[in-house]
Structures are given as structure tokens and as C-alpha cells.
């Protein structure tokens, strides 16, 4: 006994999203998870009613589709715009000014503390026009301890021990 289905008895579903990072979930008519993917999905399923959910960050969209045997029109989602503390292009509160500042500041080496890992902290004030503060703190061969604007903010300590003071430089 064979469990394979013939191609003519299956429906072909293709999901296209506006970016490569959007999560996709495919549910059948009983809301059972059938498949999931990231950035896109192509799957053969039984003909029927399905729910396709696209999610990026906290933003999501859903579309119900009736799939018939054979190829079906693709299910498409535009890029979802979600809020992010990271200044990434395409997010709900993205700003070219913040993105450019993060790129410039993340490449500046201010202190070297060992080797291997690095940390970069970028704080921005979304309530005002253009306000941002950068705290660059990479471990192991990169940068540590700098504030360019809005001085006075400090992420504090790691594991209860002060590693860096953004107001006063490296504490060893």
C-alpha cells in the first residue's frame, strides 16, 4: 500500500512575502498547523480552505485561501512594518538618520578588552526628532565605553559586576 498522492489530487500553494525575515504559518480548515517557513513557502497540500498567517515582530496579517487541485495564484504579503528598538530600514519607526548613525558608531573601536566577542549598544529617543545616544561596547578587540549624545544613560552592570561605565570609560 502506497501513501503517495498523485500530483493532480494536490493543490500547489506558494506564499510570497515582502522580505526574507517574515514568518509564515499555514493552517488547515480545522486550524491545525500544516507547515511553516520564513520569507516564503511552497507546498503541495490537499485541496481545501487554508489560513495563511504572516508575522514579523509583533505585526501579523492573515489571509484565507481556497486551494484547488493544481497550481493556484500565489498568496502575497507586503513587507510588514513592525516597531523595533533597532534602527533597521523598513520598520515602523525607522529613520535614515538613526540607521546611518548606528552604522558609523558600530565601526568605531574605542577600547579592547580581550578577544572574541563584541558588544554595540545604540539607544535612541523615538519621541524627539533625530535624538539618539550611542553606547558602543564591544568585547574582545572592539569598542567600549562611549556616549555621543544624551549623556547620563548607562546600561549598568553585567552579572552584578560593573564592566563598563559609559560616563567614565572602561572599568577593569
Among candidate residues 76, 98, 117, the one where a domain is terminated? 76
CATH number at residue 20: 2.60.40.10
Tell me, yes or no, whether 92 and 63 share the same domain.
no
Tell me, yes or no, whether 103 and 168 share the same domain.
yes
CA distance linking residue 110 with residue 4, whole number of Å: 61
Q: 127 pLDDT exceeds 80?
A: no
Tell me, yes or no, whether 151 and 135 share the same domain.
yes
Tell me, yes or no, whether 47 and 91 share the same domain.
no
Tell me, yes or no, whether 60 and 101 share the same domain.
no
For residue range 3-61, list pLDDT tens digits in order.
Answer: 455 556 999 999 999 888 899 999 999 999 999 999 999 999 999 999 999 998 888 99
Query: Which among 70, 39, 72 has a CA at the least distance from the CA of 56?
Result: 39
CA atoms within 13 A on the CB side of 19: 14
Among candidate residues 36, 51, 76, the one where a domain is terminated? 76
CA distance linking residue 28 with residue 30, whole number of Å: 5
For residue range 141-172, list pLDDT tens digits in order.
Answer: 333 333 333 333 344 433 445 555 555 544 44
Query: Which among 128, 122, 84, 129 has a CA at the least distance from the CA of 103?
Result: 122
Tell me, yes or no, whether 97 and 144 share the same domain.
yes
Looking at the DSSP bridge assignments, the partners of residue 25 are 36, 53
Domain annotation covers residue 2? no
Count CB neighbours of 83 within 10 A: 12
- Domain with 138, as residue range(s), is 84-172
CA distance linking residue 4 with residue 8, whole number of Å: 12
CA distance linking residue 119 with residue 105, whole number of Å: 12
Looking at the DSSP bridge assignments, the partners of residue 75 are 15
Q: What total number of domains does the chain contain?
A: 2
Domain annotation covers residue 130? yes
* Grid cell at residue 138: 564591544
Among candidate residues 52, 76, 100, the one where a domain is terminated? 76
Amino acid at each position: 500500500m502506497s501513501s503517495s498522492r498523485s500530483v493532480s489530487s494536490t493543490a500547489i500553494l506558494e506564499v510570497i512575502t515582502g522580505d526574507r525575515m517574515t514568518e509564515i504559518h499555514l493552517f488547515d480548515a480545522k486550524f491545525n498547523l500544516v507547515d511553516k517557513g520564513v520569507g516564503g513557502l511552497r507546498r503541495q497540500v490537499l485541496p481545501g480552505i487554508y489560513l495563511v498567517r504572516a508575522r514579523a515582530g509583533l505585526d501579523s496579517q492573515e489571509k484565507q485561501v481556497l486551494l484547488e487541485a493544481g497550481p493556484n495564484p500565489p498568496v502575497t504579503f507586503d513587507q510588514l512594518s513592525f516597531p523595533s528598538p533597532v534602527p533597521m530600514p523598513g520598520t515602523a519607526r525607522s529613520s535614515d538618520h538613526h540607521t546611518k548613525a548606528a552604522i558609523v558608531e558600530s565601526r568605531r573601536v574605542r577600547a579592547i578588552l580581550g578577544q572574541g566577542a563584541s558588544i554595540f549598544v545604540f539607544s535612541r529617543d523615538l519621541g524627539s526628532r533625530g535624538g539618539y545616544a550611542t553606547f558602543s561596547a564591544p568585547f574582545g578587540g572592539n569598542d567600549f565605553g562611549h556616549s555621543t549624545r544624551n549623556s547620563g544613560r548607562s546600561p549598568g552592570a553585567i552579572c552584578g559586576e560593573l564592566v563598563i561605565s559609559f560616563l567614565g570609560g572602561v572599568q577593569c
